[in-house]
Amino acid sequence: MRSLIARFMGPRVSRDEVSRHSIRYGTPGFLLLVARVLLLVSLFLPYWHMELQAPQYPDGLHMTAYLNALTGDVAEIDGLNHYIGMRSLYEAASIERTVGVFVMIAFVVMLELAATIHTRWTALLVAPVVLFPVVFLLDLHLWMRHFGLNLDPNAPLSNAVKPFVPTALGRGGIGQFVTIATPGAGLILAGVASVVLILALYFHRRAYLPLVKRQHDESSHASA
How many Cα neighbours within 13 Å face the side chain of 175? 14
Low-confidence stretches of the chain (pLDDT beneath 70): 1-10, 14, 214-224
Given this model, what pLDDT does residue 218 score? 55
Question: In this structure, is residue 224 part of a structural domain?
Answer: no
Continuous segment of H or E residues that includes residue 5: helix 2-9
Given this model, what pLDDT does residue 174 score? 82
Torsions phi, psi for 165 (to 5 deg): -115, 105
Number of domains in the chain: 1
Q: What is the largest CA-CA distance in the chain?
A: 82
Question: In this structure, is residue 124 part of a structural domain?
Answer: yes
Contact partners, residue 223, CB within 8 Å, separation at least 6 = none
Question: In this structure, is residue 103 part of a structural domain?
Answer: yes
Are 137 and 186 in contact by the 8 Å Cβ rule? The answer is: no
Question: In this structure, is residue 3 part of a structural domain?
Answer: no
Question: In this structure, is residue 132 part of a structural domain?
Answer: yes
Rounded to the nearest angstrom, the gap between the alpha carbon of residue 214 and the centroid of all alpha carbons in its chain is 36
CA-CA distance, 219 to 167, in Å (whole number)?
55
Question: In this structure, is residue 41 part of a structural domain?
Answer: yes
Given this model, what pLDDT does residue 70 score? 96
Question: In this structure, is residue 163 part of a structural domain?
Answer: yes
Are 151 and 87 in contact by the 8 Å Cβ rule? The answer is: no
| 7-66 residue pLDDT tens | 666 677 767 777 787 788 889 999 999 999 999 999 999 999 999 998 888 899 999 999
For 125-218, list the strands marked E by DSSP: 170-174, 177-183
Question: In this structure, is residue 50 part of a structural domain?
Answer: yes
Domain enclosing residue 163, as ranges: 25-216
| pTM of structure | 0.89
Contact partners, residue 175, CB within 8 Å, separation at least 6 = 160, 161
CA-CA distance, 51 to 89, in Å (whole number)?
14
